[in-house]
Amino acid sequence: MNQEISGLSSMATRLIMGELSEHIRRAHGIPVRFRSAGGVEIARRVREGAEADLLVLADGAMAALEKEGLLLGGTVRPLWVSQVVAAVPEGTPVPALGSETDLRAVLLSAKGIAYSTGPSGTSLIDLITRLGLADTLGHRLVQAPPGVPAGSLLSSGRADLAFQQHSELMDLPGVLVIGPLPGDAAISSVFSGAVLAASTQPHRAREVLGLLGSDAASGIARGRGMRVAGDDH
């Protein structure tokens, strides 16, 4: 019986996992299905005993789950790197973002700044604090609910500037991606995969995990705004 391999992933990799699951089914005959939600929510489900074989999350969350014994030892592997980008509502003037001075000006001119839960949101708040703008911008920060793209707050009018993983902003209607943050302000997250300790099909799950690092998978990830872990180009 060709039993389905099930996986859990954060929203940042939702579209990639959907394309990859279809590719693996067609090319290798292995049925794979991933369910996606906010990274914090997925980690909670794993801790509460969610039934799944594979997990794809940001490396910080993966490290914590591995330490807790919830991932099969020796299976954690970095897969893709995603940059946080800035975006504005489509049709509005495109601000410069070539330097940290530009970034400060963009932040200070925004009336509402949307950001996400998870590692990209935490890193953005840390950046704003490092820039000395936490007190000035505090009341303008609008956090999107878990699993909801920060870019959706642009189209709803709740914000006029948004920051999130490129993969989550690049195809949203009404959203124009300006680009990654400049210089030392750049924010990126590594997304890793692993076999869950609770998997009932660990050997086949390892096989699928290997396919997530294939050349075909890398091409799909690049098409979704990520780069392969370890590839600096």
Strand partners, 180: 85
Weakest-pLDDT range from 80-89, 173-182, 205-214, 221-230 = 221-230
Q: What average pLDDT score do residues 42-55 get?
A: 97
Which positions ≥6 away from 107 have C-beta within 8 Å?
113, 128, 131, 133, 137, 161
Cα angle at 223 between 51 and 78, to 5 degrees?
A: 50
CB atoms closer than 10 angstroms to residue 29: 8
- Give the pair of three-digit tokens for residue 44: 């909670």
The first and second tokens of residue 155, run together, are 């189209």
Domains of the chain (ranges; CATH) run: 5-80+190-228 (3.40.190.10), 82-185 (3.40.190.10)
| Average pLDDT of the residues in 76-94 | 94
Residue 154 confidence (pLDDT) above 80? yes
Which range has the worst mean pLDDT, 30-34, 153-157, 217-221, 227-231?
227-231
CA distance 17 to 36: 9
Q: How far is CA 8 from CA 21, 29, 186, 212, in A?
A: 12, 20, 27, 13
Q: Specify the amino acid at residue 48.
A: E
Q: Whose CA is closest to 49, among 25, 65, 33, 61?
A: 65
Return d(Cα 142, Cα 219) in angstroms, integer. 34
